[in-house]
């Protein structure tokens, strides 16, 4: 009973942290993006004001929309994306650390995108349909290099440790690969990190890969008919998904903590590691989202599909081969 | 009873994920319930936004054949020869079937 109660409270805390820091990161991203373009930009708390305003607005449902799908998908989307955080170490052990592995996370990451596609299709808008189709094309394109990157790392880890939970993110983050591989392995890991940093903005549909929404072209695409609280849910989904993706990069490549260098009590150490984790996730978001979306213009969907299926996939396979060479040489 | 699936390298318990999702759905619905009322729009307000263009359902329908456009456009050098193989002649299909089956049998049997 106490265990269930702890799990429920833990889930509530994770939901709060995910949404809160997701919105904070969104605010910082917008502020930095504006400064990079020599603008003042909105205050960092702007995303909170956006959500509040959206919650105050009327929730309009188009005449020909499929009501239940249109209204259910935003809720399911936000709930499913927060559920991924239950498996990811956020500077402390995840709540469901022994109940799911990285393969599960890989599949769960598809859920918010599927909710978005279904919601878009259910809205009866041609723009949303085009956006949904583009999102599907992106999904089937980035899954392969993403899977190669993750599997390559875990496979290399499985050659070092013969334990039954090698695929769990908790184990991976407790045993970073950097100091356990040779020169080929190091080059391979740097390449795989590069691939993951490229896949991150694609997974998040951020510029230059925001073709499913593309405001200036298809007027918001998938979200064109969404308003009020439904749009607020998708807005928060986007914020939490950013935290999720950055957390996965951190857990895979930069899982180190700094609490061991201090002589504080256990709880203060948790706070220190969590604060350090927030800094690391911010660094990933800065590189993968803020700088990328400031530096590049939007690509076309066929250019994105080509980029993912040819150069990015080949690069990830090269990373995999280098990790393989590291085991045989 | 749904137990934990263990693969030898990883694991997954569907039950715990479903429980987590149920709790999270309640939390999200709690936030959602603070939102404004839901209105089923009708008339002009209920029509999808189309940049001011006239909405004619038949003309604005996006065909299912467009679904994977970006994907097929990118990989057309791969798809074009495959399309050429789809002649509509059953003799050709049976020939393909025999050729592929022969290759599979050779590979499965070992060269």
d(CA B77, CA A22): 41
Tell me if chain B has a CB within 8 Å of the CB of A147.
no
Restricting to A residues 274-303, those with a Cβ less than 8 Å away from any Cβ of B are 300-302
| Cut 0.80: pTM above it | yes
pLDDT of residue B1: 46
Q: Please identify every stretch of chain A with a pLDDT value under 70, giving residue numbers as ranges.
A: none
CB A212 within 8 A of CB A114: no
pLDDT of residue A155: 85
Residue numbers in B near A57 (CB within 8 A): 35-36
* Residue B73 DSSP SS3: helix
User: Could you say which DSSP state residue A263 is in?
Assistant: -
CA A24 → CA A33, A38, A162, A236, A248, distances in Å?
A: 14, 21, 40, 11, 18
What is the overall mean pLDDT for chain B?
81
The shortest CB-CB distance from A302 to any of B31, B39, B73 is to B73
State the ipTM, two decimals: 0.83
Which tokens in the block code for residue A304? 């994105």
**Structural Rg of chain B based on CA atoms:** 26
Contact B48 A124 (CB under 8 A): yes
Distance of CA B7 to the CA centre of its chain: 27
User: pLDDT tens for residues A43-91?
Assistant: 999 999 999 999 988 888 888 888 888 889 999 999 999 999 888 887 7
User: pLDDT tens for residues B42-58?
Assistant: 777 767 777 777 766 66
* Token pair 């299709």 in the structure block, residue: A121
A233 burial (CB, 10 Å; 0-12 / 13-18 / 19+) is: buried
Contact B35 A232 (CB under 8 A): yes
Reference A247, options A206, A291, A203, A212; nearest CA is A203
Q: Which of B5, B45, B70 is the mutation pick for testing A, counting most A CBs within 10 A?
A: B70
First to last CA, chain A: 52
Tell me if chain B has a CB within 8 Å of the CB of A186.
no
- Please tell me which residue of chain A has the smallest CA distance to B61: A126
d(CA B12, CA A94): 14
d(CA A302, CA A310): 12
Q: Quick one: pLDDT band at residue B59, thresholds 50, 70, 90?
A: low
* Alpha carbon of A168: minimum distance to chain B alpha carbons (Å): 6
Please determine, for residue B111, whether its predicted confidence score (pLDDT) is greater than 60: no
Contact A301 B61 (CB under 8 A): no
d(CA A89, CA A78): 19
d(CA B72, CA B65): 10
The shortest CB-CB distance from B13 to any of A99, A154, A167 is to A99
* A59-61 and B4-6 strand pairing: unpaired
């Amino acid at each position: 009973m106490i265990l269930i109660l702890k799990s429920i409270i833990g889930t509530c805390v994770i939901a709060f942290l995910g949404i809160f820091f997701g919105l904070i990161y969104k605010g910082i991203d917008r502020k930095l993006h504006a400064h990079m373009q020599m603008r003042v930009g909105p205050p960092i708390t702007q995303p909170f004001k956006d959500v509040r305003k959206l919650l105050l607005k009327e929730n309009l449902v188009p005449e020909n929309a499929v009501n239940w799908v249109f209204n259910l998908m935003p809720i399911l989307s936000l709930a499913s994306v927060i559920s991924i955080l239950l498996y990811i170490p956020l500077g402390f052990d995840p709540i469901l650390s022994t109940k799911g592995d990285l393969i599960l996370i890989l599949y769960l990451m598809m859920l918010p995108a599927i909710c978005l596609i279904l919601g878009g299709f259910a809205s009866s808008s041609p723009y949303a349909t085009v956006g949904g189709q583009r999102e599907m094309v992106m999904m089937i394109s980035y899954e392969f290099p993403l899977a190669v990157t993750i599997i390559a790392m875990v496979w290399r880890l499985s050659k070092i440790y013969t334990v039954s939970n090698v695929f769990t993110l908790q184990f991976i983050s407790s045993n970073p690969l950097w100091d356990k591989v040779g020169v080929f392995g190091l080059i391979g890991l740097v390449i795989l990190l590069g691939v993951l940093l490229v896949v991150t903005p694609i997974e998040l549909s951020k510029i230059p890969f925001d073709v499913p929404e593309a405001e200036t072209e298809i007027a918001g695409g998938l979200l064109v008919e969404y308003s009020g609280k439904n749009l607020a849910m998708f807005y928060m989904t986007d914020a939490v998904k950013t935290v999720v993706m950055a957390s996965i990069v951190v857990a895979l490549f930069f899982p180190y903590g700094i609490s061991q260098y201090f002589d504080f009590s256990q709880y203060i150490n948790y706070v220190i590691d969590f604060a350090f984790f927030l800094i690391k996730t911010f660094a990933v978001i800065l590189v993968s989202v803020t700088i990328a979306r400031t530096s590049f213009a939007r690509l076309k969907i066929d250019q994105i599909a080509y980029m993912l299926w040819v150069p990015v996939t080949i690069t990830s396979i090269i990373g995999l081969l280098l990790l393989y060479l590291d085991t045989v040489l | 009873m749904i137990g934990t699936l263990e693969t030898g390298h990883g694991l997954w318990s569907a039950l715990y994920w479903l429980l987590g999702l149920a709790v999270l759905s309640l939390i999200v619905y709690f936030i959602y319930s603070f939102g404004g009322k839901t209105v089923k729009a009708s008339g002009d307000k209920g029509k999808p936004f189309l940049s001011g263009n006239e909405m004619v359902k038949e003309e604005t329908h996006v065909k299912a054949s467009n679904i994977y456009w970006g994907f097929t456009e990118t990989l057309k050098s791969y798809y074009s020869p495959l399309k050429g193989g789809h002649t509509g002649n059953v003799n050709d299909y049976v020939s393909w079937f025999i050729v592929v089956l022969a290759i599979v049998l050779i590979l499965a049997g070992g060269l």
